[in-house]
Amino acid sequence: MANPNVETISTSADKAKLGSAGVAFVAAFAAYYLLHSQQIWLRVLALVLLLALAAGLFLLAEPGKALIAYTRESVREVRKVVWPERKEAIQMTAIVFGFVILMALFLWVTDKTLEWVFYDLILGWTK
């Protein structure tokens, strides 16, 4: 049975765009290191331009368009979120810290109690 959530690259144009993006990505780093005798600004410029080309080619392909659509939808959903006020956020943070301290204290007491029961009472080991 085919998994409906698996995305495949359907057209040869998309495959060519993604392949070209991959080549440009590798070429960016290759150019940076192959131009080691050049000035640093030229090396960085070649790196940035080839990375921008790779990103542009990726965004023109179907997976890039899907990424852009996903990002837009995510931003739209984040705008719908009702964020807590400062006072409420501080109160909730204090509650979490208090609970963590309380649990740490409980676990420490439990550990020391079990240590005392097993090592001192049952085994008779003394320190």
Q: Are residues 14 and 62 in the same domain?
A: yes
Give the residue numbers spanning the domain of 58: 9-81
Taking residues 109-125, report their average pLDDT: 89
Count of the separate structural domains present in the chain: 2
pLDDT for 126 equals: 66
Residue 38 lies in a domain: yes
Burial (CB count within 10 angstroms: exposed 0-12, middle 13-18, buried 19+), residue 62: middle
* Averaged pLDDT of the chain: 90
Q: Are residues 13 and 56 in the same domain?
A: yes
Residue 30 lies in a domain: yes
The residue among 64, 81, 98 that closes a domain is 81
pLDDT value at 4 more than 70 = no
pLDDT value at 53 more than 90 = yes
Q: Are residues 45 and 98 in the same domain?
A: no
Q: Give the model confidence (pLDDT) of 78-104 as tens digits.
A: 999 998 999 999 999 999 999 999 999
Taking residues 43-59, report their average pLDDT: 94
Please report the beta strands in 1-127, taking only residues with DSSP state E, as ranges in sequence order. none
Q: Are residues 73 and 90 in the same domain?
A: no
| Rounded-to-integer distance, Cα 125 and Cα 48, Å | 67
Taking residues 20-30, report their average pLDDT: 94
| Rounded-to-integer distance, Cα 54 and Cα 27, Å | 9
C-alpha distances (whole Å) from 21 to each of 9, 28, 50, 54 are 14, 10, 9, 4
Q: What is the pTM of this model?
A: 0.58
